[in-house]
Amino acid sequence: MAVERFTAHFPQELLDDLDNRLKQARFPEDVANEDWSYGVNGAYLKELVDYWRDTFEWREVERSINAYANYRTEIDGFPIHFIHEKGRGPNAVPLILSHGWPWCFWDFNELIGPLTDPVSHGGSEQDAFDVILPSLPGFGFSTPLRKTGMNPWRTADLWAELMTELGYDNFFAHGGDWGNVVTGQLGHKYADRVTAIHLTGAIPIPVLADNDMTALLGKLETTPEQERKNPDLVSPGILRPRPLSAHVSVNVNEPQTVAYALNDSPVGLLAWLLQRRYWWSDNDRGPAAVEQAFSREHLLTLVMLYWGTESIASSARYYAEQVRHPWVASNSDLPVVTAPTGITFLDHDMTSQARGWTEEYYNLVFTRARSRGGHFAAAEVPMDIVNDIRDMFRAYR
């Protein structure tokens, strides 16, 4: 397995073509939609497109990405991009971070510095990590994906092989959204190698395959006994099934169909991703409220990574492949995830809703409830997540 240095760079022809498409965009009428209840608010979308075309500087983002040590490799025919930054401390330990959809590796950008160089970010040198930050297969620079079957448990196999290639026999893992499932699978199948895991929210591994265990669709329930036993597991949350459900249905059933439109229209792609960022983050709602959680630069960086790599189709298939290739337990151990597990529950994250089941599903040793931050917690409240990772893993270093 050859590992090579990688430099993020989109050709100028791609950027010029993008500029032309933005200039020629056709916007539909948007009537009585100030509250985003029909979908993305048209006035705000136009404002953000103008900013994208006239102000946003992708080359500056490339310089920021390339300031880290980026690499590319291929595992079992799947291209993998990852950042590998060594920790500054006498006992730095490896930590692999896994993102979700519609996330990208850059959603963990603000975690890299504090985790690798804790002294410069309010921590102790004893909290240093070697950070391994991949793009999920079929996402961003882990493209093009020309094989089928890629899903969270297959990704966990690739991550285990990647960590071996990097010289790490044992390691820690953290994830959110699909990265939550990947990390859970690491804690299930590779518990002999994974020292401990930390998650934002809680998602059972076969998340879309079992209607009784589908956190995304709000099926999980908490009993009064579980509530009394651990109040942190059931602090109030806000479940938004309607804005949540559209992408699940499309991505599971016919991801390729919508991909033709999204891969061809940057405005359409922006709207599709922006809707999720608006509803799933911690904000007060309103036309431009998504900027309470993310800067315009962050939002447009996300869209650029999907646009420039043409990865919307392969990333959306992650859902379909999870259903087409069902999860099979690697062992009969209970709990299902036997690696020591910590979970940060965020009141504004839909994967933090019904929580009591987690006590039986994970080897749960650490929980923390937070009132700030939503589904994209690593990007919304990065230092909160850094502190929770430090606190969870400190006893296992």
Q: What is the pLDDT of residue 237?
A: 35
Residues in Cβ contact with 62 at an 8 Å cutoff, skipping those fewer than 6 apart: 8, 9, 10
Q: What is the pLDDT of residue 240?
A: 40
Domain positions in the chain: 4-396
Peptide bond into 206 cis (omega under 30): no
Residue 241 pLDDT more than 80? no
Q: Return phi, psi of residue 218, to 5°.
A: 75, 30
Residue 213 pLDDT more than 70? no
Q: Which residue has the higher pLDDT, 241 or 65?
A: 65
Peptide bond into 335 cis (omega under 30): yes
**65-95 per-position pLDDT tens digit:** 999 999 999 999 999 999 999 999 889 999 9
Residue 372 falls in which region: left (phi positive, over 0), alpha (psi -120 to 50) or beta? beta
**3-state SS track over 256-278:** HHHHHHHHHCHHHHHHHHHHHHH
Residue 14 pLDDT more than 70? yes
Taking residues 111-126, what's their average pLDDT? 96
Residue 152 pLDDT more than 60? yes
Q: Return phi, psi of residue 348, to 5°.
A: -105, 25
Q: Return phi, psi of residue 260, to 5°.
A: -60, -40
Q: What is the pLDDT of residue 244?
A: 63
Prediction pTM value: 0.93
Closest CA to 40 of 250, 268, 299, 271: 271
**275-292 per-position pLDDT tens digit:** 999 999 999 998 899 999
Q: Which fold has domain 4-396?
A: Rossmann fold (3.40.50)
